[in-house]
Chain A
Amino acid sequence: MPTRGSIPLLSLRGVSKHFGDGDAAFVALDHVDLDIDSGEFVGILGASGSGKSTCMNILGCLDMPTEGAYCVEGTPVQQLHPDVLARLRNERFGFVFQGFNLLRRTSALENVELPLVYAGVGRRERERRSREALALVGLAGREAALSNELSGGQQQRVAIARALVNQPQVVLADEPTGNLDSRTGRDIMELLMRLRRELDLTIVMVTHDRDIAGYAERHVVFSDGKIVDDRLLRGVAA
């Protein structure tokens, strides 16, 4: 459980999300309270359609709650200007998607550089840091490979390098192994675990795979837009 007293890194208070309006509105999140502290590795579980992705999108400032408040380090994000939100996504969060979402026909290096382009980092610094990030995920030497020339596992590694290149605090991964076979999926998880230790990351990961969920230290279970279970599996030094 998060430590009481200090301000949590990410905090949802009574957050609801409705799709559509009026009577026809669909309630994807229903008064969710969730605090995540720095350094945690949270696994978000639940049946398909239970609101996991919706919750992740709100955590990553890609979407806004219909109701309730979301704070990053105590700052409510709902009032922030879109450009400030963009900077928040750029600097604080690294996204890893189920479908990798690399730019087509674009080299691994250029893909990894992209967040730094938007951060306004100069070309040489950009390239240096991107090479470093690729080396970190075990893809040194594959910088020039085009996205479509890489295997699924390699593409997800590029995506992880892209998520980490601007040194975010939080990695948000929505079913990162969903498109991979179980062995490759485990490799990716081992990589994330190693990076978490080396870089001191906070990870929030959606999965419905029990094996993959085993890597997390805390499980938050969703059902019909509500959190039905929230438990710490292993002790965290907090």
Chain B
Amino acid sequence: MTATLALRALARNKMRSSLTTLGVVIGVAAVVMMQALGAGATARVTGEIAGLGSNMLIVLPGGAGHGAFGSNTRGAPLFTLADVDAITREVGAVRHVAGVSSRSIRAVVAENNRSTTLSGVTTGFFAVRGWSVERGRLLTEDDDRQSQKNCVIGHTVADDLFGGQDPIGAELRLHDLGCRVVGLLETKGVSTFGQDQDDFVAMPHTTYARRIGGDDHVGTLMVSAVSEERTDEAKAAIESLMRQRRRIRADEDDDFTVRDLREIQNILSSVTGVLTTLLASVAAISLVVGGIGIMNIMLVSVTERTREIGVRLAIGARSSDILSQFLVEAIVLSAAGGLVGAALGAVGALVLSRVLATPFVFPLEAAALALTVSVAVGVVFGVFPARKAARLRPIEALRYE
């Protein structure tokens, strides 16, 4: 019954009612959008890491650093191809092992040139990463054994240096080394870390060692466990094997680090979580501001409608009727703002997720939460004006000019 009265009162002032809710609309839209984008980013990271293989391990030289990805490489010996063989041979829980050494280099084709990442890889590399070619072939054991000057390239490199032309069989100059392109890798897209994975050239590790790196050292080892469940087992086995091979005494720390991609995933999602919380609290503040806006307009409305309140009291309204009418008005305003805001936020998140190429996760929880919160905002910020209205005495309200 009071709901009807409240709705009628709001309908009488549509323009003001909608402007009043603007603060809540923006607040809720912000909350919902942030949550949706955060969830989308997390889904993308999770998906990508799953794509990389949740059974993948990376072995880096240097002990465990303090940063998420960094490790302390100072003075630590590098790896060798013998390490790759040893892990392949001795760790049962491991499926593929690859040695990778990388540097940035200028790649030249005729008058086109581009700075890109060149990696010398052992043949296991493509299996570890699960990469395949779109055209041509991958690098083989023979390429490696004979230190062939062959390479496979990513799409960005191909598009930039060869334009629309077929790169297979063409020559690519890396410094003063001429290489034949034997394969074009499938498109991988931008990684979680914002790196273009198609901006990439790979050659046999032996060729890299001889012509580019100048020695046999291997920068990092990439390993895939036979299954996700056996990743921990593989990690422990690699650690003990490497300690043994590097003659680390029991009382000494590792001078290498085995990274598990799941750790990275956890770190990333905690980072996303922190960001989301931060953005959500900014959004929550804007909700409070929206609530204050509602309170402000409700106070103005109570003053403006003092005579109306007087008439209502004269014809039989109890002060509780007046209280609930103004409270319901505030709640309806706030909840309507919440609904519109949630819809806008969802649409905004959808559009932004297209632009940022992240998956769209419908922010159901955030929307429900935001709606609840906006109803609460209506109650909290509506109580004061409503009480002010309900406390008016009939004759004073009627005489108000």
Interface residues, chain A, with chain B CB atoms under 8 Å away: 57, 60, 62-63, 82-83, 86-87, 89-91, 95, 97, 101, 103-106, 110, 114-115, 117-120, 162-163, 166
Question: Which residue of B4, B316, B394, B395 is within 8 Å of A90 (Cβ)?
Answer: B316
Per-residue interface assignment for chain B, residues 5 to 26, with 1 indicating a CB less than 8 Å from any chain A CB and 0 otherwise: 1001000100000000000000
Q: A62-B394, A101-B307 are in contact. Are A106 and B8 (CB under 8 A)?
A: yes
B residues less than 8 Å from A60 (CB atoms): 314
Asked whether any CB of chain A lies closer than 8 Å to the CB of B110, the reply is no
* Alpha-carbon separation in the docked complex, A91 to B311 (Å): 15
Q: A57-B395, A101-B311, A103-B311 are in contact. Are A166 and B316 (CB under 8 A)?
A: yes
Interface of B is mostly: helix
A residues less than 8 Å from B318 (CB atoms): 82-83, 86-87, 118
Question: Are A86 and B8 in contact, CB atoms less than 8 angstroms apart?
Answer: no
* Alpha-carbon separation in the docked complex, A126 to B90 (Å): 89
Question: Are A118 and B315 in contact, CB atoms less than 8 angstroms apart?
Answer: yes
Show 21 residue pairs from A and B whose CB-CB distance is below 8 angstroms, ordered by the A residue.
A57-B395, A60-B314, A62-B394, A62-B395, A63-B393, A83-B318, A86-B313, A86-B316, A87-B316, A89-B315, A91-B316, A101-B311, A103-B311, A110-B8, A114-B315, A115-B315, A117-B1, A118-B318, A119-B316, A162-B315, A166-B316
* Alpha-carbon separation in the docked complex, A103 to B310 (Å): 11
Total number of B residues with any Cβ neighbor in A under 8 Å? 23
* Alpha-carbon separation in the docked complex, A82 to B393 (Å): 10
Chain B residue at minimal CB-CB distance from A83: B318
* Alpha-carbon separation in the docked complex, A146 to B298 (Å): 24
* Alpha-carbon separation in the docked complex, A195 to B393 (Å): 31
Interface residues, chain B, with chain A CB atoms under 8 Å away: 1, 4-5, 8, 12, 307-308, 310-321, 393-395, 398
Question: Which residue of B4, B5, B12, B394 is within 8 Å of A63 (Cβ)?
Answer: B394
* Alpha-carbon separation in the docked complex, A117 to B9 (Å): 14
Question: Are B316 and A118 in contact, CB atoms less than 8 angstroms apart?
Answer: yes
Chain A residue at minimal CB-CB distance from B307: A101
A residues less than 8 Å from B5 (CB atoms): 117
- 4 nearest interchain CB pairs? A90-B316, A118-B316, A63-B395, A86-B318
B residues less than 8 Å from A119 (CB atoms): 316
Question: Are B320 and A106 in contact, CB atoms less than 8 angstroms apart?
Answer: no
Most chain B Cβ neighbours within 10 Å, of A87, A101, A119 = A101
Question: Are B315 and A106 in contact, CB atoms less than 8 angstroms apart?
Answer: no
* Alpha-carbon separation in the docked complex, A193 to B393 (Å): 32
- Give me 20 other A-B pairs in contact (C-beta within 8 A), A89-B316, A101-B398, A118-B316 excluded: A60-B314, A62-B395, A82-B318, A83-B318, A83-B319, A86-B313, A86-B319, A90-B315, A90-B316, A97-B398, A103-B12, A103-B308, A104-B308, A105-B12, A114-B312, A117-B4, A118-B318, A118-B321, A119-B316, A163-B315
Chain B residue at minimal CB-CB distance from A61: B394
* Alpha-carbon separation in the docked complex, A89 to B393 (Å): 14
B residues less than 8 Å from A115 (CB atoms): 315-316
B residues less than 8 Å from A117 (CB atoms): 1, 4-5
A residues less than 8 Å from B316 (CB atoms): 86-87, 89-91, 115, 118-119, 166
Q: A64: shortest Cβ distance to chain B, in Å?
A: 9
Most chain B Cβ neighbours within 10 Å, of A60, A82, A97, A118 = A118
A residues less than 8 Å from B320 (CB atoms): 83
* Alpha-carbon separation in the docked complex, A114 to B307 (Å): 15
Q: B322: shortest Cβ distance to chain A, in Å?
A: 10
Question: Are B315 and A82 in contact, CB atoms less than 8 angstroms apart?
Answer: no
